C-alpha cells in the first residue's frame, strides 16, 4: 500500500462555519510541508451543511478523504473512525475549530525527526474559554493525576502528531469508552510535549456541553482507574468505626450511664439511617458505572459505522462498510 507521508485527521460536528477557513490555513501548512499528504475529515452526523461542504472539498482536492458516519458517534469515536481510515506514515490529529494551530506542524515534525513517536500539544495558555471550563478542566486533570497510574500529561487535548507504529498500537485497543489522550500515553514509546497557546474557537460554539463533558470525564476515570471501586471499602470502614461508637453510646444510655431517657434517640437514628442509605446508594452507583461499561464492552458492537467514504480513488465497494479498528491492523 502506498502511504502518504502525512495524514491529518479532523472530526467535524456542525462545523459549517469553520471549514472554509480550516481548509485555507491547512492548505498553506501542507504546501510548506512539501511531502505527500491526505486530510481525513470525518462528518460525525452533523445536522448542518458540514457533509455537503466536505464532499465539495473532496471533489475539488484529491488530498481530501471525506468520511460520513451513520449518525453522531461523539468526538472520540469520530476521531477513531478517521484514524482507522487514514493511511499516512505520520498522523496529525486536529480539531476543526482551529483552536489548535495547524501551523505548529513543522515544529512537531522536527521533534518527531529527533526520535519521538508522539508529539503532543500542551496548552500554555487558553484563550476564549469560559471560567467554568477552565476551572473544571484544571480540576479534572489534577484528579486524573491522583487517580491513575498512567502518567497522562496535564492540559493536553487530542492535538498531537503520531507515528504509524504508535497509531497501529492505539487502533489495536478495542475499548469502546475511549479517552484517546490517555490511551496514547499508555502506549509508551517516546512522547514529547510541544508547548503552545490555545486560541479561541474560530466560529461556532463548543460541541461539548456540560452533559458531554461529565460523560467524557466519567469515561476517562473509569477507563484508567479502579480506585473509585475501592471507595466502598474505605467508606465501609469509616462507617463501621462510626457504628461501633454509636453502639457504645446506645448501650451506655441503656445502662443509664449518660443519664436521661432512651427515647431521645429518634432524630439521631433517622440521620444515621439516611446517611448510611445515601452512602450505600452512592457506592452502588459507582459499581453501576463500571458494570454498565463492562456490559457494553462485552456486547462487542462496532465502535463506529461508516456510511460513505469519498476520496478521489474511491473504492465504491467499501461504502456502508462496518469498520472495526482491529480490521485495519491485519
67 within 8 A of 306, measured Cβ to Cβ: yes
How far is it, in rounded angstroms, from Cα 141 to Cα 152? Answer: 8
Q: Read off the C-alpha cell for 249.
A: 453510646
Residue 22 or residue 169: which is nearer to Mg ion going by CB?
22
Binding mask 85-124 for Mg ion (x = CB under 5 A): ----------x-x-x-------------------------
Cβ distance to ligand UDP smaller for residue 90 or 207:
207
| Nearest residue (CB) to ligand UDP, 134 versus 282 | 134
From ligand UDP, Mg ion, none, interface partner of 280 (C-beta below 5 to 8 A by class): none
x/- contact string, 60-79, with ligand UDP (CB under 6 A)? ------------x-xx--x-
CB of 176 to ligand UDP, least distance (A): 15
74 binds, among Mg ion, ligand UDP, none (CB under 5 to 8 A by kind): ligand UDP
136 binds, among Mg ion, ligand UDP, none (CB under 5 to 8 A by kind): none
Q: Which is nearer to Mg ion, 38 or 97 (CB)?
A: 97
The answer to whether 162 and 117 have CB atoms below 8 angstroms apart is yes
Q: Check residue 80 for interaction with Mg ion (CB under 5 A).
A: no
From residue 45, alpha-carbon distances to 52, 164, 309 in Å are 12, 27, 14
DSSP state of 260: S
DSSP string, 121-182: EEEEEE-S--HHHHHHHHHHHHHHHHH-SS-PPTTEEEEEEEEHHHHHHHHT---SS--HHH
* Chain-centroid distance, C-alpha 133: 15
Residues in binding contact with ligand UDP, number by CB under 6 A: 16
Site for ligand UDP in 83-122 (CB under 6 A): 95-97, 99
What nine digits make up the cell of 148?
A: 491513575
- Phi, psi (5° rounding) for residue 119? -115, 110
Residue closer to Mg ion (CB basis): 159 or 224: 159
* 113 closest CA partner among 93, 92, 94, 90: 90
Return the one option of ligand UDP, Mg ion, none that residue 208 interacts with (CB less than 5 to 8 A, by type). Answer: ligand UDP
Of residues 38 and 158, the one with the C-beta less far from ligand UDP: 158
d(CA 236, CA 242) in angstroms, rounded, equals 10
Q: Give the number of other CB atoms < 10 A from CB of residue 255.
A: 8
CB of 99 to Mg ion, least distance (A): 4
Span 199-218, contacts to ligand UDP by CB under 6 A = 206-208
Compare residues 17 and 44 and give the one whose CB is closer to ligand UDP: 44
153: left (phi over 0), alpha (psi -120 to 50) or beta: beta
Q: Which residues bind Mg ion (CB under 5 A)?
A: 95, 97, 99
Note the residues at the interface with ligand UDP (CB under 6 A).
11-13, 15, 44, 72, 74-75, 78, 95-97, 99, 206-208
Amino acid at each position: 500500500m502506498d502511504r502518504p507521508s502525512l495524514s491529518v485527521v479532523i472530526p467535524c460536528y456542525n462545523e459549517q462555519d469553520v471549514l472554509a477557513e480550516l481548509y485555507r490555513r491547512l492548505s498553506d501548512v501542507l504546501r510548506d510541508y512539501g511531502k505527500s499528504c491526505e486530510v481525513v475529515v470525518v462528518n460525525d452526523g452533523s445536522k448542518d451543511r458540514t457533509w455537503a461542504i466536505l464532499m465539495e472539498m473532496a471533489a475539488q482536492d484529491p488530498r481530501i478523504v471525506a468520511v460520513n458516519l451513520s449518525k453522531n458517534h461523539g468526538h472520540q469515536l469520530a476521531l477513531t473512525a478517521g484514524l482507522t481510515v487514514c493511511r499516512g506514515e505520520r498522523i496529525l490529529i486536529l480539531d476543526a475549530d482551529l483552536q489548535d494551530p495547524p501551523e505548529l506542524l513543522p515544529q512537531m515534525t522536527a521533534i518527531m525527526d529527533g526520535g519521538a513517536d508522539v508529539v503532543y500539544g500542551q496548552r500554555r495558555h487558553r484563550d476564549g474559554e469560559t471560567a467554568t471550563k477552565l476551572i473544571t478542566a484544571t480540576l479534572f486533570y489534577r484528579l486524573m493525576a491522583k487517580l491513575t497510574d498512567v502518567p497522562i500529561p496535564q492540559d493536553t487535548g487530542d492535538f498531537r502528531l503520531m507515528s504509524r507504529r504508535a497509531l497501529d498500537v492505539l487502533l489495536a485497543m478495542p475499548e469502546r469508552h475511549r479517552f484517546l489522550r490517555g490511551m496514547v500515553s499508555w502506549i509508551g514509546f517516546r512522547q514529547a510535549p510541544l508547548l503552545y497557546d490555545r486560541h479561541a474557537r474560530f466560529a461556532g460554539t463548543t460541541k461539548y456541553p456540560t452533559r458531554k463533558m461529565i460523560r467524557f470525564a466519567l469515561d476517562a476515570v473509569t477507563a484508567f482507574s479502579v480506585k473509585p471501586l475501592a471507595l466502598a471499602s474505605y467508606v465501609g470502614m469509616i462507617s463501621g468505626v462510626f457504628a461501633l461508637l454509636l453502639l457504645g453510646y446506645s448501650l451506655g444510655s441503656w445502662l443509664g450511664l449518660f443519664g436521661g431517657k432512651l427515647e431521645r434517640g429518634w432524630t439521631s437514628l433517622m440521620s444515621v439511617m439516611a446517611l448510611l442509605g445515601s452512602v450505600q446508594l452512592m457506592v452502588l452507583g459507582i459499581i453501576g458505572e463500571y458494570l454498565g461499561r463492562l456490559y457494553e464492552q462485552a456486547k462487542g458492537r462496532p465502535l463506529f459505522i461508516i456510511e460513505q467514504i469519498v476520496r478521489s480513488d474511491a473504492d465504491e465497494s467499501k461504502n456502508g462498510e462496518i469498520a472495526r479498528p482491529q480490521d485495519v491492523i491485519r
